[in-house]
Amino acid sequence: MGIFSLVTGLPGPSGFGSSSTAEQVTGGVDASNLTVIITGGASGIGAETARVFALRGAHVIIAARNMEAATDAKQLILKTTPSARVDLLELDLSSLKSVRAFSDKFLSMDLPLNILINNAGVMFCPHQLSEDGTEMQFATNHIGHFQLTNLLLEKMKSTARKTGIEGRIVNLSSVAHIYTYEDGIRFSELNEKYGYSGKKAYGQSKLANILHANELSRRLQEEGANVTVNSVHPGLIMTNLMRHTFFLMRMLKIVTYILWKNVQQGAATTCYAALHPSVKGVTGKYFVDCNEAKPSSLARDETLARRLWDFSEKLVKAKTCDRW
């Protein structure tokens, strides 16, 4: 999918393109037998993703840091879909303690889990560390989702075994993954303020999202689990994610307005990867505008993916061993 398809909205091989909406790509899909967790489902494309899943009949779990916003999102869903099944659970991905609490709470509900959408994130924030002492964008966008996925993975695999329905994990990445540090991931200088760039740190975290999806996909295939993992670039959308650079992005949007999507279009690729029948059995891929695309060479580096996995496991263990 090139710039021409992006600008014109012409569909790709999937039959969908940059102008397709989340409702369009899920048309005719019955999700009434599915349970989905959507992180960051209280606003932006996460809220639209939650709305469309509820519209298609799924049991939606909105995982959100801001519970007031999550409540508002639920009420908006119920206004248009009164029969919607929507539950709210608190989750702060920058806190491993919160990730563990969320996982424990969800598992205690004894629900199946068919789909996990790792959607939430922060963008371009100034240098700061999470409560666990990890650079904030890496902590929120990657480490929080890495640990959340690990804690819920057995539930997803058991659900797939019991129901025979393929489980799907979708990581929201970004085309920004190409704009990262020279070696991709600053393993030895992850938390250093010296040389820090908010934009490159964001790109680093988005690269990590793809590498995580690829390595997890490889591991699940190796063990024969009926769970797929893919990553997506939703497109350029003006949401609260850009609150740290709102003025700059507003100016950029004026200059490049033809490249931007609305929220309904921005949620389309996520919903396509998570629900569309044509994606059944497809794993370890990167989607743009509802079509498979080729990410950067770093994002396709299997050695880097394995190194990131090992690094992430050690980081989580080091941060949590004294707590639980």
Nearest by Cα to 27 from 8, 55, 51:
55
- With the C-alpha atoms ordered 317, 208, 35, 158, is the resulting torsion angle positive or negative? negative
Active site residues: 196
Say if residues 27 and 50 touch (Cβ distance below 8 Å): no
CA 135 to chain centre: 19
Place of tokens 């996520």: 270
How many whole angstroms separate alpha carbon 1 and alpha carbon 11? 9
Tokens found for residue 161 = 């075994």
- Cα within 13 Å of Cα(88), Cβ side: 17
Say if residues 217 and 228 touch (Cβ distance below 8 Å): yes
Give the strand order in the sheet containing 85-90: 85-90, 59-64, 35-39, 115-118, 167-172, 227-233, 286-288, 291-293
Amino acid letter, residue 306 = R
